[in-house]
Amino acid sequence: MRVVVSVLAAGALVAALGGLAGCDSGANGDGAAAAGRSAPAAPSEPIGDPAARAAAAIAAFTDEELVGQVLMPYAYGNDATKVTGSSSSANNQYAGVSTPAEMVSKYKLGGLILVGWSADDPTAGTNKTTNVDSPEQIRKLTGGLHDAARRNPGGAPLLIGTDQEYGAVTRIRSGVVQLPSAMAFGAAGDPAATEAAWKAAGGNLNAIGINVDFAPVADVLGPRGSGVIGSRSFGGDPAAVAEQVAAAARGLAAAGVAPALKHFPGHGHTTADSHEELPVLAQDAAALDRDDLPPFLAGIKAGAGMVMSGHLDVKALDPGVPATFSSKVLIDLLRTKLGFTGVVVTDAMNMAPAKRWGPGEAAVRALVAGNDLVLMPPNLKQAQKGLLDGLKSGSLPRPRLVEAATRVLTLRYRLAATAQPDMSTLNSPADQAAAQTPSAAAVTVFRGTCSGPLVSGGVTITGDGKWTQQREWLTAALAQQGIPVRAGGTSVRLLGYGDGSAPAGGAGGAGGAGVTVAMDTPYVLRQQPGTLVATYSSSQASMVALAAVLAGKAKAPGRSPVPVEGLPASACAR
């Protein structure tokens, strides 16, 4: 593997890296510590310049401190300093410490990811624990983690991230504003509304101490509609997806949260799940440029602070090598061609394609390929040791590690400049309105009347038992529209994530022809009879919007952002 150290944005940072290129911190890598350093050197540049401040701090870091900057593990327990016995045991096995705060302190971490597990989450397999519960619990946890990080050299708050994509992948499901899925935004087709909604969401995340969102998904869905991506994507048109990705990135960034565009260079034209195997991007370079890259470029231009590399076999660029470990993808394409100067973070390193090597070797390979942050190594002790050994052996060149660590610390300083909102701002009426606007604009009628109610005299709501909450939300919303839910009413059948193989249904009750509603990708509507509607999302805001359309109190202005065989993009919207 070759190593290319790309040019960093700030002139002071370039100078700092140049000065470090031939330096050694001592034979055992801890020269600064041996000299009695107990705190990082004072910045030689103005404190208001994050890049210069980071370069000055990094110049005094030991090997261990440099390595810590590029690690972003998970931890067990929902409190920074007090955890259960089982969480303590799991942390000790993973990292040799008992608590999340001790993990931050011992490893001098640059970041930590908060995870959550649910059965209907396509990313559930990589989440070994759950440490998100309520906003109050999360703010207490993140506060303790940030405090521990501020006591480390560099004195910066931690990068604390989570996968808050909304829709199928949503870690925090209560107490904060709930946006519709990305595909619903694509159906609404209103970038201004997208930006406003994601700014509201970012403000909520910032208030609870999360400053990195592993979103938006910048993948463009191919004709076969990648199952693992699905409604996580804004749609199938590269230009339209690019507008949405840029809007979401601007919204998050405006709220002081770093967006992480994923999964570079694009997971939407694959059929395999990268959690389980290595998906193949078989298209040629021209198709990659045309169909996959536009949303990433748009997000970069919108100011996204991070890009997540995907565990994807990009045949046109580096056959057989996961993009996460390919300098041809991350340096030649992302850095050089697209001009990205921010932090490149790996996809979870406990996914199958990254586990073909041990945690240490995989971490070294990821850094050498061009990543700056190693996310969720399967064993933190082994990942750290592998990076330290790589420094000693030369397989991990020091300039590459310094460059990566400096980028991470620069982002930490930059994010620290944004004030943290008060908890009283969470899920405000303005936030809820920002979520409701695109949810209402997304509702699409594929078959059925375009004026007046789609149901009359009452409805019967059916669907899998996992949609009990959605049925309750829809029942309440219909009541607000004056439509009772009763036996024998028009059948309204809810189909959501995981219901793709559901048999045709939607038989009408006493009220007439039935209605089938797609709360995820609309492909499930292809062989359904009766009236066909899509919300693309199962959020409460989407159920409220659906009720208004069913009652004939609102139009259905949405257009499907992906083609559905045998159906128009909309039977109603022009």
φ, ψ of residue 358 to 5 degrees: the values are -65, 165
Tokens encoding 82: 């007090």
Q: Catalytic pick from 49, 275, 318, 431?
A: 275
CA distance 486 to 94: 53
With the CA atoms of 240, 335, 413 and 115 taken in that order, what torsion angle do they form, in degrees rounded to the nearest 10? 60
Find out whether 516 and 526 touch, Cβ atoms under 8 Å: no
Q: How far is CA 429 from the centre of its chain?
A: 25
- Which SS3 state, helix, strand or coil, does residue 212 take? strand
Distances (CA, A) of 208 to 165, 201, 204, 212: 16, 11, 7, 12
Distances (CA, A) of 231 to 178, 307, 346: 15, 20, 22
What element of type H or E holds 494? Answer: strand 490-495
Strands 444-447 and 531-534: antiparallel
Tokens encoding 156: 């910066």
Tokens encoding 497: 């994530």
Angle (nearest 5°) at CA 301 between 259 and 306: 30
Nearest Cα to Cα of residue 311 among 224, 406, 376, 235: 376
User: Annotated catalytic, 275?
Assistant: yes
CA distance 205 to 259: 12
CA distance 479 to 490: 15
Q: Catalytic pick from 163, 273, 292, 347?
A: 347
User: Annotated catalytic, 79?
Assistant: no
The residues annotated as belonging to the active site are 275, 347
